[in-house]
């Protein structure tokens, strides 16, 4: 398939790219449009899966993607659970976190319906796929991290820390975007 060349600079420019029936921007389309490097995991979670969503455009449309650098870091659970979250997703993170109140009765199965997710948390006490976060200054949230994608993952971690299943000092991998 041939892709028309569209220069991508800002996150809002992604709206000009072709989308599939589900509203996602195909990875091949993104790769063809980007004249700069972005890790595939970030490209998929941040751009492919969510760039066509209004709430993501409201939050991140202004970001100059070419200025962002991405690094896969190891960060403490304590720092991660202090991340800011877009207002529209706070209740979801809280709902997921509250699932762990049922841990004594249900074990790790209280966190998710997907067996692979449950088994990974049970074995490793962390998520399968690193979430996406930004330096909070980039989105007007001040110092610290701001969660972009991985609300369920962060909710599970917050609930696990609160219930003592995971230490606040435990280390978890996350993609961090900064300028």
Q: Which helix (H) or strand (E) holds 156?
A: helix 151-162
Task: Measure the CA–CA gap between 19 and 96, rounded to whole angstroms.
Answer: 30
| Residues 19 and 44 both lie in one domain | yes
**59 CB neighbour count, 10 Å cutoff:** 21
Mean pLDDT across the chain: 93
| Residues 82 and 167 both lie in one domain | yes
Asked whether residue 92 is assigned to any structural domain, the reply reads yes
Task: Measure the CA–CA gap between 177 and 179, rounded to whole angstroms.
Answer: 7
Asked whether residue 42 is assigned to any structural domain, the reply reads yes
pTM, full prediction: 0.92
| Residues 85 and 48 both lie in one domain | no
Task: Measure the CA–CA gap between 30 and 84, rounded to whole angstroms.
Answer: 27
| Residues 83 and 151 both lie in one domain | yes
Handedness of CA 22, 28, 29, 31 (dihedral sign): positive
pLDDT score, position 172: 98
| Residues 47 and 104 both lie in one domain | no
Q: Which helix (H) or strand (E) holds 175?
A: strand 171-178
Lowest mean pLDDT among 36-40, 133-137, 156-160: 36-40
Res 2 pLDDT > 60 = no
What's the number of domains the chain is made of?
2
| Residues 159 and 129 both lie in one domain | yes
Q: Which domain holds residue 126?
A: 69-178
SS3 category, 7: coil
Asked whether residue 75 is assigned to any structural domain, the reply reads yes
Task: Measure the CA–CA gap between 163 and 36, rounded to whole angstroms.
Answer: 42
Asked whether residue 95 is assigned to any structural domain, the reply reads yes
pLDDT in tens, 27-42: 999 988 887 889 999 9
| Residues 94 and 173 both lie in one domain | yes
pLDDT in tens, 90-104: 999 999 999 999 999
């Amino acid at each position: 398939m041939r892709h028309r060349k569209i220069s991508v600079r800002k996150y809002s420019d992604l709206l000009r790219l072709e989308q599939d029936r589900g509203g996602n921007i195909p990875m091949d389309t993104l790769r063809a449009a980007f004249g700069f490097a972005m890790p595939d995991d970030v490209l998929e979670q941040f751009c492919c899966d969510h760039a066509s969503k209004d709430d993501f455009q409201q939050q991140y449309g202004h970001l100059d993607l070419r200025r962002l650098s991405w690094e896969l870091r190891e960060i403490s659970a304590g720092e991660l659970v202090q991340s800011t979250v877009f207002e529209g997703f706070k209740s979801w993170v809280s709902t997921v976190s509250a699932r762990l109140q049922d841990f004594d009765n249900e074990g790790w199965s209280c966190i998710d319906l997907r067996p692979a997710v449950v088994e990974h948390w049970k074995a490793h006490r962390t998520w399968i796929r690193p979430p996406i976060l930004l330096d909070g200054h980039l989105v007007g949230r001040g110092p610290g991290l701001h969660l972009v994608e991985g609300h369920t993952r962060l909710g599970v971690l917050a609930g696990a820390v609160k219930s003592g299943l995971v230490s606040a000092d435990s280390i978890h991998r996350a993609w961090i975007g900064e300028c």
